[in-house]
Amino acid sequence: MNVAVFGGSFDPVHIEHIRCARAAIESLRLDKLIIMPAHTPPHKPGKILSSDSDRLEMCRLAFADVEKAEVSDYEIARGGTSYTYLTCRHFKEEYPSARLFWLVGTDMLRDFPSWKEPQFILKDATLAVCGRTETDGWIEQEQKAFKEKFGVSFAVVDYNGADVSSTKIRVLAGAGVRLTGITPDSVAEYIHEKGLYRIENAEKALGLEKPKRQEHSLRVAQVAAKRAVQLRLSERKAITAALFHDCAKYLAPDSPYLKGFSLPTQWGDVPKEVAHQFAGAYVAEHTFGVTDEEILDAVRYHTSGRPEMGEIEKLVFLADMIEEERRYEGVEILRELFWKGDSVDECLTEALRQTLEFLKTKKEDIYPLTKQAYEYYAARQNKKCE
Contacts to ligand DGI by CB under 6 A: 246, 249, 271, 273-274, 302-304, 320, 355, 359, 364-367, 370
Cβ atoms 277, 367 nearer than 8 A = no
Instruction: CB nearer to ligand DGI: give 72 or 370.
Output: 370
> From CA 248, how far away is CA 257, in angstroms rounded?
9
Least Cβ distance, residue 216 to ligand DGI (angstroms):
6
Phi, psi of 130 (to 5 degrees): -90, 105
Query: Taking CB within 5 to 8 Å according to partner kind, which of ligand DGI, Fe ion, none is near residue 54?
Result: none
Q: Choose among 279, 306, 276, 277: nearest CA to 368.
A: 306
The CB-side HSE value for 373 (13 A sphere, CA atoms) comes to 28
Least Cβ distance, residue 210 to ligand DGI (angstroms):
12
Least Cβ distance, residue 349 to Fe ion (angstroms):
20
Cβ atoms 366, 268 nearer than 8 A = no
Q: Cα 261 from chain centroid?
A: 33
Query: Taking CB within 5 to 8 Å according to partner kind, which of ligand DGI, Fe ion, none is near residue 271?
Result: ligand DGI
Instruction: CB nearer to Fe ion: give 62 or 175.
Output: 175
Query: Taking CB within 5 to 8 Å according to partner kind, which of Fe ion, ligand DGI, none is near residue 354?
Result: none
Instruction: CB nearer to Fe ion: give 75 or 246.
Output: 246
Instruction: CB nearer to ligand DGI: give 4 or 270.
Output: 270
Query: Taking CB within 5 to 8 Å according to partner kind, which of ligand DGI, Fe ion, none is near residue 87?
Result: none
Query: Taking CB within 5 to 8 Å according to partner kind, which of ligand DGI, Fe ion, none is near residue 31?
Result: none
Least Cβ distance, residue 323 to ligand DGI (angstroms):
9
The per-residue b/e assignment along 52-74, b for 16 or more CB within 10 angstroms, e otherwise, is: bebbbbbbbbbbeeeebbebbeb
> From CA 377, how far away is CA 308, in angstroms rounded?
8
For residue 96, the one-letter residue type is P
Transcribe 318-368 into DSSP letters.
HHHHHSTT---TTHHHHHHHHHSTT-SHHHHHHHHHHHHHHHHHTTPPPPH
> From CA 98, how far away is CA 89, in angstroms rounded?
13
Quick check: helix, strand or coil at residue 45? Answer: coil
Instruction: CB nearer to Fe ion: give 246 or 297.
Output: 246
Query: Taking CB within 5 to 8 Å according to partner kind, which of ligand DGI, Fe ion, none is near residue 9?
Result: none
> From CA 178, how far away is CA 120, in angstroms rounded?
42
Instruction: CB nearer to Fe ion: give 9 or 370.
Output: 370
Instruction: CB nearer to ligand DGI: give 109 or 238.
Output: 238
Least Cβ distance, residue 300 to Fe ion (angstroms):
11
Query: Taking CB within 5 to 8 Å according to partner kind, which of Fe ion, ligand DGI, none is near residue 293?
Result: none
Instruction: CB nearer to ligand DGI: give 84 or 214.
Output: 214
Least Cβ distance, residue 171 to Fe ion (angstroms):
15
Question: Long-range pairs for 176-179 at CB < 8 Å and ≥24 separation?
Answer: 176/202, 176/203, 176/206, 177/203, 177/218
Query: Taking CB within 5 to 8 Å according to partner kind, which of Fe ion, ligand DGI, none is near residue 366?
Result: ligand DGI
Query: Taking CB within 5 to 8 Å according to partner kind, which of Fe ion, ligand DGI, none is near residue 359?
Result: ligand DGI
What stretches of the chain show up as alpha helix (H) in DSSP? 15-27, 52-62, 74-78, 84-94, 106-111, 118-124, 138-150, 166-174, 185-194, 202-206, 211-230, 235-244, 272-286, 293-300, 311-322, 331-339, 345-361, 368-385
Least Cβ distance, residue 284 to ligand DGI (angstroms):
14
Binding footprint of Fe ion on the chain (CB under 5 A): 246, 320
Least Cβ distance, residue 161 to ligand DGI (angstroms):
29
Instruction: CB nearer to ligand DGI: give 83 or 367.
Output: 367
Least Cβ distance, residue 329 to Fe ion (angstroms):
19
